[in-house]
Structure 1
Amino acid sequence: MSHKRIPKRKAALAAGSVAALGAAALLLPNANASQSHSDDATPKTFKATDVTDVASQLASQLGDTFAGSYYDAGKQQLVINVVGNDSNVVNQIEKAGAVANEVHNSTSTLKAAAKTLKADATIPGTAWAVDPKTNEIRVTADSTVTGTKWDTLTSTVKGLGSDVATVKKSTGTFKTFVDGGDAIFGGGARCSLGFNVTASDGSPAFLTAGHCGVAAAQWSDAQNGAPIATVDQATFPGNGDFSLVKYDDPNTQTNSAVNVGNGQSVEITQAADAAVGQQVFRMGSTTGLHDGNVTGLDATVNYPEGTVTGLIQTDVCAEPGDSGGSLFTQDGSAIGLTSGGSGDCTAGGETFFQPVTTALAAVGATLGTSDAGAGGAADPSASAGASDPAGAGDQSGGAVDPSASASASDPTGDAGDQSGAGADDGSGLVTATP
């Protein structure tokens, strides 16, 4: 089935959402993988979006012995870290279909270490998050952290104790990616529409990055165009990087879909929490469609503008023009909004995302629209490209088939300069440092 063309404004406003499970199947093979039920002692297979609920339940049951969890994508299994080798704890984990993994550091130990980092090493150009796969805090420093700053960081990490945290150097710089999927423009900045939502008062709105929301009060779907939406709430820096932007026309019709190029869109049916180890997809106007994996949760990033907490860390690449854009999964779940990071889609790097679930709760909005506009299923025979009339351009950076799309899976890749404005190719994000 071909994607039904919608007027320019509607197309521009739909880009950050996701429409049609047919497209999800095309984008993301194994989208219909389901949880299998077998003997209690045999690990079950899970979809990535199912593991957060199971992990949360086990965390409440296991108390202090619970030390984090992650998703083994290869085996489709949920791994639960535990401190100690209590057979009763292991039995509870296995009964839930998960795999028990004994580790050294408890959750309280890692939280205390993160608190120390915040107090003693909040240095612009640094970031940290717990890596449950290694049971350590992974600290990253960009190229600006040198001299006494580097000495302070490394001594703080060393003081946390053996095997509690590791630190690595990135050659790029941490900064926000001001650009987007379906491009939006405001105050000289270019950002990306993330996901269409319904505000608490029932009016149509969308989510984008908070640093976009503080850069300009009004936004347009065309460069130098008339404003179509006004910022209602914005958080940045601080406890997140998100903003709610309401359409000026209360009768605006929008899609709950992400534009993946060539007139194709992928339906977004729910908001979901991220799980370490799960595969995710990012759509951006600068670089197109790219995939990678979640590597950390509740990440702290010290941008030049200030510290942002509670972010998702990934090895998905991004470049200027990708800020505010959509992070989603193979089953059409909205996961995050592009915030920033270091690197590019040639060398790789780290990219951080605002969790959608947290943003929705904070602004009181609901994912999707109360009166969704047209949104057809993707044509499986169509190749990736930007046929969106909102401003199509080179879409070579992202193929519809994730096996063919560029993926920055090397978290140690050199980081490139993230400044400057990206070109509008209609993929759904925006760039230009405010």
Structure 2
Amino acid sequence: MTRLAAVGGLLLGATMVTHAVASEPRAPGAEPLSTAEEPAPAGPGDTLVSRLGTSRTAGSWIAADGRTVVAVTDEKAAAQVRGAGAEPKMVDHSMDDLKSATKRLGSAPRVPGTAWAVDYRTNEVVVRGDRTVSADDWSGLTEVADGIGGFVRMERSEGTFTTRLNGALPILSTAGRCSAGFNVTDGKRDFILTAGHCGPDGSVWFADEQAKEEVGTSVRGSFPGDDYSLIEYTSGRAGEGAGVVAVGEGKGVRITGVADPTVGQRVFRSGSTSGLRDGEVTALNATVNYPEGTVSGLVESNVCAEPGDSGGPMFSEGIALGVTSGGSGDCRTGGTTYFQPVTKALAALDVRLIVAPGDDGVRRSPRPPRRTRRARWRRTRPRRGRRPR
């Protein structure tokens, strides 16, 4: 029986040695995790935002030089941010204003092919419409945006916002193709955490197109609304190497913990179509109106993804951050990719991340997610997606 022993589609029967582990770039600053099951404590920006409140702040992010920046609406708040060692940026609109704007957009008639997210760095709500959105629908949504105020920016996207029903070294079922995200457990049984759009409960997954090597069965999930699901292993257990993300060429990255991402954070995503790609988080709590339904609370990024990468893992410095939901564009022309946050999925499904042991075979408390300045590599972004099969 073939089981998915590691995320990103790595099979127990595939060639993989535990010492062939790829290294991620290191960078300064981050908070430690207390256990493998618990998310990392809030970073300095999140802590300051929580302390000052959403009426006086408008988010935080990591600047290109690695500094923490906090958007504030008054000088007293700015002084408190400076006193905490972070950099304040004075803005006109608080987080309360920005959330009110996204709420009004959400109450408007739903237009498939649109998405919106708060851009902390420009203090705007960015609304995107793909090529499937008609001129009339775009005009109607623009009127809603104009009624909210000048801090709502409208942008057209060349690609199509779509979920991606293909995967990294794929798992296959009658529902389509998807990729394994991260291995998780409830203490009694092990599961694959993947995207919720991959298939309904009861979908049986295989490691081969001939449907001879059964992997498991979808047992719980949420889509639309959210985009996560669990595939229970047929054997009940994930097997050796369950805490390693496959990144190609027989290599992998040890996953040592879970956390919420930060705007400006450098991240990596693994997938069979485009391999290991990097980019950065551009927004949080994004809403995407896919043709199948609306999904909210997503992580927006410019990391490259293409059809064949759906459900795959997003991570940074060995810390699990998200699973691929969908997006638009391709690795040549650019676009946007969205991810389901892992922390929310774990909490909703009442499961824990399976982490990798150290070199001596001992499972350690995870290292903190390290933050870095903006990547120097050429940014590549996701490909024009295909509609689900």
- Give me the TM-score of the superposition, normalised by structure 2: 0.85
Query: CA offsets per residue over residues 272-306 of structure 1, 9 Å max, x none?
Result: 10111111111111111111111110000000001
Other-structure match for 1:76: 66
Q: What is aligned with 2:380?
A: 408
The whole-number CA distance in structure 2 between the counterparts of 1:52 and 1:230 is: 35
Aligned-pair CA distance for 1:23 = 3.8
**5 Å matches for 1:208-357?**
208-214=194-200, 217-226=203-212, 227-238=214-225, 240-254=226-240, 255-329=242-316, 331-357=317-343
Deviation at 1:172, TM superposition (A): 1.4
- In the alignment, does 2:174 pair up with 1:187? yes
Whole-angstrom CA distance in 2 between matches of 1:278 and 1:208: 22
Deviation at 1:60, TM superposition (A): 2.4
1:237 is paired with a residue of what secondary structure? coil
2:78 corresponds to which of 87, 90, 97: 90
Query: Against the structure 1 CA distance between its residues 121 and 158, is the aligned structure 2 distance closer, same or farther, given a 3 Å change threshold?
Result: farther
- Report the AA paired with residue 69 of structure 1: S
CA 1:367–1:290 in structure 2 vs 1: closer, same or farther (change >3 Å)?
same
Change (3 A) 1:159 1:148: same
Distance 1:142 1:215 in 2: 30
TM-score by length of 1: 0.77
For residue 372 of structure 2, what is the aligned residue in structure 1?
none
Matching of residues 110-149 of structure 1 within 5 Å: 110-149=98-137
Contact 2:60 2:68 in 1 (8 A): yes
Q: CA deviation at 1:9?
A: 3.3
In structure 2, relative to structure 1, the CA distance for the partners of 1:287 and 1:138 (3 Å cut) is same
More strand by share: 2
SS, match of residue 5 in structure 2: helix
Q: 1:260 to 1:334 in 2, by over 3 A?
A: same
Higher helix share: 1
Is the contact between residue 263 and residue 284 of structure 2 (CA under 8 Å) also seen in structure 1?
yes
Confirm or deny: 8 A CA contact 1:185 1:191 kept in the other structure.
yes
Q: Are residues 1:9 and 2:2 paired?
A: yes
- Other structure's SS at 2:168 match: coil
Contact 2:203–2:218, Cα closer than 8 Å, also in 1: yes
Distance 1:262 1:222 in 2: 20
Q: Which residue matches 1:424?
A: none
1:310 deviates by 0.5
Q: Which residue of 2 aligns with 1:385?
A: none
CA contact (8 A) 1:181 1:194 kept: no
Q: Cα distance, 1:68 vs. partner?
A: 0.9
Alignment match of 1:197 (pick from 173, 184, 191): 184
SS in structure 1 at match of 2:2: helix
Structure 2 residue ranges without an equivalent (≥5): 11-16, 32-38, 362-374
1:43-62 matches, cutoff 5 A:
52-62=42-52
- Code of the aligned partner of 1:273: D
How far the C-alpha of 1:215 sits from its partner, in A, is 8.1
Q: Whole-Å Cα distance in 2 between the matches of residues 196 and 247 of structure 1? A: 10
- Taking every aligned residue pair, what percent have the same amino acid on both sides? 42
Aligned: 1:152 with 2:144: no
Separation in 1, partners of 2:188, 2:44: 32
Task: Name the residue aligned to 2:386.
Answer: 419
Q: Structure 1 residue 94: deviation in Å?
A: 2.3
